[in-house]
Amino acid sequence: MKFAIGSDHAGFELKEKLKKYLTSKNIEVIDVGTNSTESVDYPDFAEKVGKLINNKEVDFGILICGTGIGMSIAANKIKGIRAALCTIPEMAALSRKHNNANVLVLPGRLIGYELATWIFDAFINATFEGGRHERRVNKIKALEE
């Protein structure tokens, strides 16, 4: 399994901690930045993660900004990306089961590291259920065309 991870300045510290957590679980990680807490523009990192997913260079993505809202908006503008802002593990599991989310978005200023790992674990351990949910996801894809 391979993940792309990116953040803006507000998500930098959580991104660095999560990278270590992912590698401890034998997950390959491509870090697209940012590399400090110096102010940057979050859409740049959403685009980098989205491109890696669409080019099939990674399986999933993680994006982190202060609230997660900006990253969610930016990532969901990219064709083929279904980014889910999750603040509790149940949201992460359902984002995979019902929405086939391929990007997990986290609010770096609103949650701590431990909760972030629980959310990630719920995301990665869930699988898309298909069925009626597939019909709905296909309607989202149709909106992109």
Q: Which one of 9, 86, 98, 133 is the catalytic residue?
A: 98
Q: Which one of 9, 65, 86, 133 is the catalytic residue?
A: 65
**CA 111 – CA 101 distance, rounded (Å):** 20
9 classed as catalytic? no
**CA 119 – CA 41 distance, rounded (Å):** 25
**32 by DSSP, 3-state: which?**
coil
**CA 88 – CA 90 distance, rounded (Å):** 6
CA-wise closest residue to 139 among 82, 88, 92, 90: 82
**CA 114 – CA 133 distance, rounded (Å):** 30
Largest CA distance in the chain: 45
86 classed as catalytic? no
The residues carrying an active-site annotation are 65, 98
